[in-house]
Amino acid sequence: MKKILIILFTFSGFTFADDHGNDLYYAYFGMTVSNPPAVVAAMDKFMASECGQTAPFSVALMGEAFNGHEPQTHTFVVTYEGAQALNDTFATLSTCPEYATFLTELAAVSVPTEQTLAKSVYEAGDWTQDTAFAVFEINVRNEASYIEAYKKFTDAAVANGQLTSSFGVERVVAGDEYTHFAFIGGTDMANLMATIDLLNMDNADFAEFQNSVRRNRSIVRRGIVTPIKAWN
């Protein structure tokens, strides 16, 4: 899947309890992997290096559980606390020999498929407690109007106990053809499926949400991802 984006998300160690707007950025690096343990080992090595220890970001590796016809099998999600962290990252990695070694080791066991940068628009819940995520890649015409409807629906779903894990919306800044993606977390796959089952037109709150955004939002693709390992 092109997003994990689910993002998102992404086991960076942050807690997004009622984090309704922030300055978090996420970079997504999708790849088709031939040797998953070698990818983990390469990141272990880099993050343990002096360069990795001082890098102004955290990293999560996500596995693409169900992503339709997309070729990528895994995605690195890199979390930056603000635009300055993005700037500092470029400065740090440009002079980091350990990073060059990491790229060489990664290239031996994977083929890159995606590079996307997104910014958090609206997030809530503690996704660090979730182990499965549904991701919805979407095109939105009017972000403010969509977020207003999204917040109304999710507030109602939280209040009536239908939405118990993390959720949010991210804006694509660069690198992909859709404008946003939304995500829903689950404590496990069964919990995620139970939540998804509630997203139907028999649910009055969801039906109201769907009707309110149908001319403003179109769904490009749906997917499910699961976290494999995180480096803080």
Sign of CA dihedral 20, 86, 10, 34: positive
With a cut of 70, which residues of the chain have pLDDT below it?
1-22
pLDDT in tens, 101-138: 999 999 999 999 999 999 999 999 987 789 999 999 99
Residue 170 has a pLDDT of: 96
Position of tokens 């803080």? 232
Neighbours of 119 (CB within 10 A): 15
Contacts of 114 (CB under 8 A, 6+ apart): 2, 28, 29, 30, 31, 72, 75, 175, 176
In three-state secondary structure terms, 221 is: strand
Instruction: Determine contact, residues 91/80, Cβ cutoff 8 Å.
Output: no
In three-state secondary structure terms, 228 is: strand
Contacts of 54 (CB under 8 A, 6+ apart): 92
Tokens encoding 45: 């090595």
- End-to-end Cα separation, the chain, in angstroms: 23
Tokens encoding 104: 């060489």
Integer Cα distance of 210 and 184 in angstroms: 16
Q: What are phi and psi of 91, to 5 degrees?
A: -65, -40
Sign of CA dihedral 160, 162, 164, 168: negative
Q: What are phi and psi of 45, to 5 degrees?
A: -65, -45
Integer Cα distance of 87 and 230 in angstroms: 22
Instruction: Determine contact, residues 166/126, Cβ cutoff 8 Å.
Output: yes
What range does the domain containing 146 cover? 4-231
Count how many domains the chain has.
1
Integer Cα distance of 73 and 111 in angstroms: 10
What CATH number did the domain enclosing 16 receive?
Answer: 3.30.70.100
Instruction: Determine contact, residues 49/98, Cβ cutoff 8 Å.
Output: yes
pLDDT in tens, 84-107: 999 999 999 999 999 999 999 999
Crossing angle (nearest 10°) for helices 204-213 and 143-159 = 180
